[in-house]
A = this chain, B = another copy of it.
Amino acid sequence: MASLKNVGRSLARCTLQSVARGPHIQSVRCRAAAPAVNVRPVDDEPAAPMVKTAIPGPRSKELLRDLESIQNSEAVQFFVDYDRSHGNYITDADDNVLLDLYTQIASIPIGYNHPNLMAVMQKPENLGHFINRPALGVFPPKDWAEKLRKTLLAVAPPGMSEVQTMACGACSVEHAQKALFIAYKARQRGGAPPTKEELSSCVMNQPPGSPDLSILSFKGAFHGRTMGALAVTHSKAIHKLDFPTPLWPAASFPELRYPLEDFVQENRAEEERCLAEVRDLIEIYQKKGRPVVGIAVEPIQCEGGDNHATPYFFQGLQDITRENSIGLLIDEVQTGCASTGKFWAHEHWNLREPPDTVSFAKKMLTGGFYYREQYRPKEGFRIFNTWVGDPAKVTLLEEVVKVIKSQNLVTNMANIGEYLQQGLKDAQTKFPGVVKNARGLGSLCSIDFNNSATRDKAILALREKGIHVGSCGDVAIRLRPTLIFQKKHADVFFDCFDSVLSSFK
């Protein structure tokens, strides 16, 4: 894990991307020119994990029994003392201190109790944002446009300048889908207003006002759990069982071999196969009378198992949307906000033009979606609800964006990502029968075990040593560190990981 290795890997990646970009290549920007990273330490961050009890410990178990009397709590892993969690370390209800590489399912941007966020909360002029929640779509605060500029627009994907806030990830995907439906029908009408029949039929869920349209998604995808978001989700039965869902097309997502650079030809063929399937499904659903108005895709299928595809695949998807005059919805709820070493994961692809809509939530603190101008609804009240987001979250995001920029945390994620990925590769070299398929984009990385049981055992063994990671898919552990994660934290992780894998040999 010497710096020389990192340089080597950095160059290798630049080369790989150049190949994968093919005719789309615009520029090869290596991080050598990036400004210096300057991660400021968080007060009171522990120097190392400290585990005192089993996890969940006696106090967590007692609290769980209590919560179980109020709601199903089977998903609870342990209870947390958030006041005593600092930076990259989370402290549980039994005083166990864990290095957190899962970060509330990838949703803590700059660590627990970051001093800058505490300072935001202590400014008297900010308090009103937290207690007077407006109906943003009708009575926005007077500084709303200014706040959007300082936050969401200051980090907007290249080429995108419009944004709509929402409360959570699922709502963001639902409303981004609605933007696609609206734009598709508007194009069909060619500027004419909706007919009386459309207006009256839609209120009763009937065509032509409620048309039989679809959005194409991918096997293994996860986009959320409300009905529209769930319709494009295909990762696990537990998310979907028993719920009626529209029968929309789902194509294969590439099943690539890792490391990507060693299987360029095989992976290209697999991506071609999936792109062909997308083309076929669009044609089939057109004939079925259920036209596809857009394609929803994650840059990395996270919940589905950290499944990657190359820029070539995503460029191909965009080409298909252009050929068919339909929309491309990139769902960056988990991949957005710097963790991949670029602010948005899709910036790694050098697309010919910006995506049509980009949804976000989690580390962005607010949900929402960016959209291209042609996806702006002409009428008010179409992308709307009472709150449509929360200025309180945007007030916090303003400080998060400042910290990301002033401390160069995007670059930090590129650097630490290479370090993490190299460490995972070293682990699979050292423990060939135990772990495989080390992969990642920036800090958003993962590794597979041979089966679910071993993976689950490894997660618990890591936890006993004070390392908190998440699972994804059937056999992977996923690392989702904060943006202020540093080499010293990675070293703590790898020491424990090595020890756990040694015990598994």
Contact = CB atoms under 8 A, between A and B. Distances in A.
Interface of A: 59, 63, 66-67, 69-83, 85, 90, 93, 104-105, 107-108, 112-114, 117-118, 120-122, 125, 127-135, 137-142, 144-146, 148-149, 153, 161-164, 167-171, 174-175, 178, 181-182, 184-185, 194, 198-200, 202-206, 209-214, 219, 224-229, 231, 234-248, 250, 361-362, 365, 376-387, 392, 396
Contacts of A379: 72, 74, 238
A296 to B, nearest CB: 13
Given A121-B130, A174-B226, A240-B209, A145 B63 contact: yes
Q: Which of A59, A63, A163, A244 counts the most chain B CB atoms within 10 A?
A: A244
A80 B211 contact: no
Given A79-B141, A202-B240, A225 B131 contact: no
Q: Which of A63, A161, A163 counts the most chain B CB atoms within 10 A?
A: A63
Contacts of A175: 225
Contacts of A174: 225-227
Number of copies: 2
Contact of A383 (B72, B148, B198, B212): B72
B132 A234 contact: no
Contact of A107 (B72, B112, B118, B133): B133
A206 B376 CA distance: 33
A139 B70 contact: no
B133 A118 contact: no
Q: Which of A185, A211, A212, A385 counts the most chain B CB atoms within 10 A?
A: A385
In the A-B complex, the 5 residue pairs with the smallest Cβ-Cβ separation, listed nearest first, are A74-B380, A227-B228, A75-B380, A227-B227, A93-B142
Given A74-B381, A226-B226, A104 B163 contact: no
Q: Which of A133, A145, A206 counts the most chain B CB atoms within 10 A?
A: A145
Nearest to A117: B131
A219 B200 CA distance: 12
Given A211-B242, A226-B174, A239-B381, A144 B79 contact: yes
B171 A80 contact: no
Contacts of A246: 205, 227, 244, 246
A470 B169 CA distance: 29
